[in-house]
A and B are shown apart, each in its own frame.
Chain A
Amino acid sequence: MRSRRSEVSYTARQRSYRLLLYVLMLVGCVIMLLPFFWMLTTSVKTEAGAMRMPPQWIPAKLHWENYAVAWGMAPFGRYFFNSFFVSITSTIGEVITTILAAYAFAKMRFFGKNVLFAILLGTLMIPGEMLLVPNYVTLTRLGWLDHYEALIIPWMVSVFGIFLLRQFFRSIPDELWDAARIDGCPRGRYLWRVVVPLSKPAVLTVALFKFLGSWNAYQWVLMMTNTESMRTVPVGLATFSSDIGTAYHLLMAASVMAILPILILFFFTQKQFIQGIARTGIK
């Protein structure tokens, strides 16, 4: 009898404990989402509405035209084109170079393999910020400063991507290659027709993170471009913000536009994203 009573009280306690956990999680989610909500709600207010105190959580009238106004105030079309162009080309380029190099490291025997791999590992220690100045000098010499080349070509390789793919490629059994070879399949075709399709999740992860990094890149673009027509969305947005002063409703509209492509990408590839992040930690 006694034991039963304690069991009941335990469940009640457990229930309140669970409730507490849900409350904590709710608080966490609110803190994480509030800035996004605030961005969105400010973006559809008037300038006076944005400055109202106490603030309005949802304005009475939604001013979606703010987006059109903000779009017209700076060459956002050009910024978006640049961002898409740079992100897509550097992602494609990176995926190709990374697959080739990772395959060589994973499945081929060659002279100097271990030394080369160790050197590659070593580059992960070099902070990219240290390379800004010398790369700036190099790109000036090449005449690439303020050109697309400067934003794309140096980023067409990723040592981390090579490691990630190499790990994945290694798990593919060698018997597949033996079979392909016996059927007279050249190595190149085997790589693109067999290895890559088998490694789709890993390749997709590498590509996604490259695209994300490229879309969000700020420091490099700031350093390597001078003219408005070469700016990408983040740098364009930062310039826009210093130009418009306190028109926060327009600034928020522009910020929403800058986040939107990444959000859309994220919602379509959420699983890849989260697994990719998780994978980097587990190794």
Chain B
Amino acid sequence: MRTWRERIGRAVPRGLGKPLGILRGKLNPVAVYRRNPSFWKETGTAYLYLLPALVILTVFIFYPFFDAFRISLFKWGLLPPRPYVGFANYTYIFHDKYFWRSLWHTFYYVIITVPVTLFLAILVASLLNKGLRFLSFSRTSFFLSYISPIVAIAMVWRWMYNANYGLLNYLLSLLNKIPFVHIQPIDWLNNPDYALPAVIILSVWHYVGYQAIILLAGMQNIEQQYYDAAKVDGATGFQAWRRVTIPLLTPQLFFVFIMSLIGSFKVFTEVNVMLMGPGPLRSAETIVYYILRSSGRIDGATQHLGRAAAASVVLFGIIFALTIFQMTVTQRKVHYQ
């Protein structure tokens, strides 16, 4: 071990050595540099490499993250003055029945969409993993919905949901040929009871292929020897699926579950495009819809950026809680390998 004096060399004049020595050269930039010049040169280059990304991240992610909290404390309309109002925006949204409704609609959407999509995705992935022919064709057909622009997708669903001329009601009416079945045409988009379910069906259809592809990749990663072992033990196909595939797939299942949970809380485009607004009687308004509406960007609403920011902070709280939950579970190890 060298002494601090040896390590920092002649960076510090002798007279000052004693008091500065207490810091052991840790705060003396020259000494710090001299101790390991190549490291600091590399640091300089590295930050040069990081600079473009860091500048954009700082301006458009780090700063606005804190700014959202700040804006939520101001009355912020289209034109100044924009006075500080404390927690008035929070008080306002917590007394706004439409805010609570938007929360409820979002939860309703999430609670149905996430499990149904995941369940169907598991079925689809298992089917695709069966070694059937036409794999690449079926994989592509399941994937097509995910890559297509959601706006265009929402258009065709709106057309299919049309009460009088829509394909869905026509297909449903075919069921009436079965005895004792009487299905009335559903006014999907104008009936407050059906607007949100219509969005849910669209979302399940849109995301199931994406999730299935991830799960399929996970399934294909499971080594054959596990199945061989199961076979030796006399497991049937279903038992092998239940006792080998599903347990070994937990990391992917959990990843897909969390991603879709977090993503579903942010549902907006499907609603705004397919229903051309928040749905009849605002029956499909979601949190993000509420945020954009309060921002005065849609629906011809008045601009209240403070309220929009307050609602954003609430959304962040929900997502943050979910992320913490995810981390706790992940740390307890979701997989068996």
Residues of A within 8 A of B (CB): 18, 21-22, 24-25, 28-29, 31-36, 38-39, 42, 50-55, 96-98, 100-101, 103-104, 108-111, 113, 116, 119-120, 123, 125-138, 153-154, 156-157, 159, 162, 187, 212, 215-216, 218-219, 222-223, 233-235, 237-238, 241-242, 248, 251-252, 254-256, 258-259, 262-263, 266, 270, 273-274, 277-283
Residues of B within 8 A of A (CB): 39-40, 42-43, 45-47, 49-50, 52-54, 56-57, 59-65, 67-68, 71, 76, 124, 127-128, 130, 132, 134, 136-145, 147-153, 155-160, 162, 164-165, 167, 170, 205, 209-210, 213-218, 221, 252, 255-256, 262, 265-266, 268-269, 272-273, 276, 288, 291-292, 295, 297-298, 305, 308-309, 312-313, 315-316, 319-320, 323
Bound form: Cα–Cα A278–B252 in Å: 10
Contact A278:B140 (CB < 8 A) given known A162-B53, A255-B155: no
Contact A222:B141 (CB < 8 A) given known A53-B170, A252-B155, A282-B217: no
Q: Nearest Cβ distance between residue B204 and chain A, in whole angstroms? A: 10
Give me 12 other A-B pairs in contact (C-beta within 8 A), A248-B159, A282-B221 excluded: A21-B130, A25-B138, A28-B138, A100-B49, A104-B47, A109-B39, A123-B62, A134-B65, A137-B76, A222-B272, A233-B151, A258-B149
Are B319 and A98 interface neighbours, CB within 8 A? no
Q: Nearest Cβ distance between residue A259 and chain B, in whole angstroms? A: 5
Bound form: Cα–Cα A132–B67 in Å: 11
Q: From DSSP, what is the main secondary structure of chain B's interface residues?
A: helix
Chain A neighbourhood of B128, CB < 8 A: 25
Are B56 and A156 interface neighbours, CB within 8 A? yes
Q: Nearest Cβ distance between residue A22 and chain B, in whole angstroms? A: 6
Are B132 and A110 interface neighbours, CB within 8 A? no
A-B CB contact pairs (8 Å), 14 listed: A18-B132, A31-B205, A108-B42, A125-B319, A132-B295, A157-B52, A218-B149, A235-B151, A238-B272, A262-B147, A262-B149, A263-B144, A277-B210, A281-B217
Contact A270:B140 (CB < 8 A) given known A28-B127, A38-B167, A262-B148: yes
Q: Which residue on chain A has the smallest CB distance to residue B140?
A: A270
Contact A131:B52 (CB < 8 A) given known A212-B147, A223-B292, A281-B256: no
Are B71 and A137 interface neighbours, CB within 8 A? yes
Q: Which residue on chain B has the smallest CB distance to residue A31?
A: B205
Are B56 and A153 interface neighbours, CB within 8 A? yes
Q: From DSSP, what is the main secondary structure of chain A's interface residues?
A: helix
Bound form: Cα–Cα A108–B40 in Å: 11
Are A130 and B152 interface neighbours, CB within 8 A? no
Chain A neighbourhood of B214, CB < 8 A: 277-278, 280-281
Q: Nearest Cβ distance between residue B63 and chain A, in whole angstroms? A: 7
Bound form: Cα–Cα A241–B275 in Å: 11
Bound form: Cα–Cα A113–B42 in Å: 12
**3 A-B pairs with the lowest CB-CB distances in the bound complex, closest first:** A278-B217, A281-B214, A134-B64
Contact A127:B150 (CB < 8 A) given known A32-B145, A274-B143: no
Chain A neighbourhood of B136, CB < 8 A: 270
Are A35 and B160 interface neighbours, CB within 8 A? yes
Are B61 and A136 interface neighbours, CB within 8 A? no
Bound form: Cα–Cα A125–B47 in Å: 24
Bound form: Cα–Cα A42–B157 in Å: 12
Q: Nearest Cβ distance between residue B163 and chain A, in whole angstroms? A: 12
Chain A neighbourhood of B139, CB < 8 A: 274
Q: Which of A32, A98, A238 contacts B142 (CB 8 A)?
A: A32
Q: Which residue on chain A has the smallest CB distance to residue B320?
A: A125
Q: Which residue on chain A has the smallest CB distance to residue B310?
A: A133
Are A100 and B50 interface neighbours, CB within 8 A? yes
Between B46, B309, B316, the greatest number of chain A beta carbons within 10 A of the residue's beta carbon is seen for: B46
Chain A neighbourhood of B39, CB < 8 A: 109-111
Bound form: Cα–Cα A237–B152 in Å: 8
Chain B neighbourhood of A136, CB < 8 A: 295, 297, 305
Q: Which residue on chain A has the smallest CB distance to residue B32?
A: A111
Are B46 and A154 interface neighbours, CB within 8 A? no
Chain A neighbourhood of B156, CB < 8 A: 35-36, 38-39, 42, 252, 255
Q: Which of A35, A96, A154 contacts B205 (CB 8 A)?
A: A35
Are A282 and B165 interface neighbours, CB within 8 A? no
Bound form: Cα–Cα A42–B167 in Å: 11
Are B153 and A35 interface neighbours, CB within 8 A? yes
Are A28 and B142 interface neighbours, CB within 8 A? yes
Bound form: Cα–Cα A222–B162 in Å: 25
Q: Which of A32, A159, A162, A279 contacts B141 (CB 8 A)?
A: A32
Chain A neighbourhood of B54, CB < 8 A: 101
Are B132 and A22 interface neighbours, CB within 8 A? yes
Chain A neighbourhood of B42, CB < 8 A: 108-110
Between A215, A242, A255, the greatest number of chain B beta carbons within 10 A of the residue's beta carbon is seen for: A255
Q: Nearest Cβ distance between residue A131 and chain B, in whole angstroms? A: 4
Bound form: Cα–Cα A1–B44 in Å: 81
Q: Which residue on chain B has the smallest CB distance to residue A191?
A: B49
Bound form: Cα–Cα A162–B215 in Å: 23
Q: Which of B63, B127, B137, B218 contacts A21 (CB 8 A)?
A: B127
Chain A neighbourhood of B159, CB < 8 A: 38-39, 42, 248, 251-252
Q: Nearest Cβ distance between residue B214 and chain A, in whole angstroms? A: 3
Q: Which of A24, A96, A125, A277 contacts B52 (CB 8 A)?
A: A96
Chain A neighbourhood of B305, CB < 8 A: 133, 136-137
Q: Which residue on chain B has the smallest CB distance to residue A113?
A: B46
Bound form: Cα–Cα A159–B56 in Å: 11
Q: Which of A53, A120, A263 contacts B165 (CB 8 A)?
A: A53
Bound form: Cα–Cα A60–B77 in Å: 55
Bound form: Cα–Cα A176–B138 in Å: 41
